[in-house]
Amino acid sequence: VARLSGKEPVGITTELLQKRLWTLCPNKREILNLSNFDRILIVVGPKFLLHFYFKGLKYPGLKTFEPHKGGQILLMNVLAETPHPVELKIEGGFDLDSFNPHGISFYMDKNESIYLFVVNHPEGKSAVEIFKFFQDEKYLLYIRTVTNELLTSVNDILAVGPEHFYATNDRYFRSETVSVYVEMFWGLSWTNVVYYSPKKVKEVASRFYSANGINMSPDGKFIYVADILDHSIHVFQRMSNMNLSPVKVLKLETVLDNISVDRRNGDLWLGCHPNAAKLLSYDPKNPPGSEVLLVKDILSDKPKITQVYVDDGSLIQASSVAVMYGGHLIIGTVFQKALFCHL
């Protein structure tokens, strides 16, 4: 349980929370009433800005408020006067009934065609689904499903080619019971990062307690991996053979979930859990809190870490991701709502 505990946001009154929220969002703020708003993806092109989301994740041990509803991928124009997500239609014979989306990434080719890579857990298994996005018609075309014996418990994904990606495995054992009571409480660092290409699949980093969110520096030279149970970000240099060479580990005083990278300046925006133990034993009267950290100059000797947002679950519960773009901050959650701010 200690590994699931960060710094609890104690002593935060509703009045103080509202002051912090007003400081964070002085112009406009909106609660998007969407459950499982767990991952957020920004795609920036020469003539467009796209925000993709998914909802409907059902993950072992975590609360879900819509257990019988299938997964969805949504698109939102964050620059609109009143942003509202719209579900994207998926064509090409994809099995929507078993769609259980988790991580999400994208690859844009030289023709500016956009391919979405989505981690899927159909019937508790792990797969990576590849779709092509048609921007004018606003739909996804199912391309293929990727499975492999090394992709055992995929949490997040980072696309680096048309059929190439890095993936984090967050558990060693497939059994939920064994995973929680053996890996977590015995402190086993047996999870890893896998590189996949059609010609070769290999482990490229290992010895994580639970490898979670993954992302990349704007220049593509460094890979960032969140170890949710170690309260840390692992920084790797990306080698020409796609192996990952360790550079440093940044320790945090919270439970880090997902990493978003600001493509303009390389800043890291982190969705965190002040006390993630509450995720495993959900109590609506004592809900899990939310926290967002900003990390500047992570490659320097002294990175600057700023707590941008924190609350005790009164406003949004179990923040898992935060994305900043053009004066807009969106905070997504594991199983509840999302907070949208115009800064």
Q: Could you say which of 51, 68, 84, 102 is catalytic?
A: 102
Q: Where are the alpha helices (DSSP H) in 148-213?
A: 176-178, 185-186
| Of 166, 152, 169, residue with least CA distance to 242 | 166
Show binding-site residues for Ca(2+): 104, 155-156, 212, 257-258
Asked if 316 and 31 touch (Cβ cutoff 8 Å), the reply is: yes
Which residue has 């769609």 as its token pair?
99
How far, in Å, CA of 128 to CA of 140, rounded? 15
Q: Positive or negative CA dihedral for 18, 21, 25, 28?
A: negative
Which residue has 């609360």 as its token pair?
63
Write out the H or E segment, with its range, that includes residue 17.
helix 14-24
| Of 185, 35, 62, 52, residue with least CA distance to 107 | 52
CA distances (Å), 203 to each of 162, 225, 229, in order? 20, 14, 20
List the structure tokens of 180: 């929680």
Q: Where are the alpha helices (DSSP H) in 119-228?
A: 176-178, 185-186
Beta-carbon count within 10 A of 73 CB: 24
Task: Give the angle subtended at the CA of 25 by the CAs of 315 and 66, to the nearest 5°.
Answer: 35
Residues near 81 by beta carbon (within 8 Å), at least 6 away in sequence: none
Show binding-site residues: 104, 155-156, 212, 257-258
Q: Assess whether 102 carries a catalytic annotation.
A: yes
Indicate which residues carry an active-site annotation. Answer: 102
